Amino acid sequence: MAVIGLGIVWSLHLPSFAGQLQLVSTVIGALLVLPVCGKYLLEPNRFLTDIKHPFYGSLMAPMSMSLMLIADYLTQVHVESAAVLLYSAFALHLFMMVMFFSWQLTHFDMKQLYPSWFLYPVGIISSTLAGSKLGFAAESLQLMHICIGAYFCMLPVILYRLAFMGRLPKHCRPVVAIMAAPVNLSLSAYLTNFSDPNPVLAGALGAVGIVMTIFVYLCCISLLRQKFQPGLLALTFPSVISAVAIEKLSQWLATRYEDWQWLSLFGAIELFIATSIVIWLSYQYAHHHRIFSIIKLRIART
């Protein structure tokens, strides 16, 4: 999702190259997510085991969310393919959400509640981007309101768990960064789908989004000093979607409130930080799995 989102935010800053940027980022994103989908198709028992886990099960949501973002790009290329992919991704997301929450609520433990639980009820808002372009504008707007409502309902519960129920396990701490993702994803979808957004709601989402983004940056200072672990990749999408949201917000504000044009500078800073985080953690991930060594070995053999 971070790679696809990075293409979106760069296209907002460089509209002349929007088509090329989104094409490259979508192709790379598809190459990353399709093997994950294939793994679960070939190993259904593993899928059922992972979806029941309070931590790993919640991190499966970006799989269907990524497919929804790919469908959004396909609406510009091949509408029929976009529709098939969107319906499939939407159904998959709903299925995983029902499976995940039905299991977690029947085995509820407040200490097992993580910020990544946001991803199912709020993450489905990703479908509204393609949905509004495929003739489901009214349904997309209704779904968007439901997702935003779900975010504000879940937020105090998540904050209570983080504040009063002890520290997260060490390997789970990077998901704290996900606190910035739902609100900024909601803001991005809201400004994309509404031609005349409510200033109060947009302002509220923007204010919370900026606070959460700064919180994520503070987390990055500590987390990026640690030895690399795959869980640190949780920092990528929140930083990217924050950059997308702030740029969309600054572009909208510039058309109505000239005093807020300075916000575009903050958007440029977020773009630089998000790009740096994605590149750095991608390099660390490749080095961790010795991908570079494997590539060099294969080149040497040829």
pTM for this one?
Answer: 0.89
pLDDT band at 55 (very low <50, low <70, confident <90, very high): very high
257/97: higher pLDDT: 97
Q: At 240, give phi and psi (nearest 5°).
A: -70, -50
Topology (CATH) of 2-301: Glycosyltransferase (1.50.10)
Portion of the chain with pLDDT greater than 70, in percent: 95
Q: What is the pLDDT of residue 227?
A: 82
Average pLDDT over residues 83-94: 95
* Burial bucket for residue 135 (CB in 10 Å: 0-12, 13-18, 19+): exposed
Q: What is the pLDDT of residues 66-77, one digit of tens each?
A: 999 999 999 998
242-300 confidence digits (pLDDT tens): 999 999 999 888 888 777 778 888 889 999 999 999 999 888 888 776 654 555 545 55
Residue predicted with more confidence, 101 or 295: 101
Residues 134-193 pLDDT 10s: 888 889 889 988 999 999 999 999 999 998 988 888 888 888 888 899 999 999 999 988
Domain ranges of the chain: 2-301
Q: What is the pLDDT of residue 301?
A: 54
Do 120 and 97 form a contact (C-beta atoms < 8 A)? Answer: yes
pLDDT computed for residue 290 by the predictor: 64
